[in-house]
Amino acid sequence: MPWEGYNFEDAVLISERLVYEDIDTSFHIRKYEIQTHVTSQGPERITNKIPHLEAHLRRNLDKNGIVMLGSWVETGDILVGKLTPQVVTESLYAPEDRLLSAILGIQVSTSKETCLKLHRGGRGRIIDVRWV
């Protein structure tokens, strides 16, 4: 049945008031948790100093490596920066890592990045952060 002549196959009419006053708005709150363990190589660490990770992926992390309250996050953003120690023999190093170690004495990272990242299709604002 048409409403004042507004009739279209797949259209929906709503009042502007519903939009401006956020009457038809919904909130979805999701909870994310991560745990740290003590492995045979040592304890896992929560940190924002994650090697080989671009700065824009760490932009929402505080000095402790946990996402800041009020941050806007998108798919793939890091919520918690975590490193897991692993045993790496020198023969498994990439050639450039072996060169840096031999010439400059730079220690190659022996940790694996195991950060908590926002799932695919997720985005939103951080409304609460708890360290238990």
Domain ranges of the chain: 32-125
**pTM greater than the 0.75 cutoff:** no
Cβ atoms of 116 and 61 closer than 8 Å: no
Residues contacting 96, CB < 8 A, separation 6+: none
Question: Which CATH number is 32-125's, of 3.30.450.20, 3.30.300.20, 3.30.1360.70, 2.40.50.150?
Answer: 2.40.50.150
Q: What is the pLDDT of residues 65-123, one digit of tens each?
A: 999 999 999 998 999 999 998 766 665 567 777 777 777 766 665 788 899 999 998 89
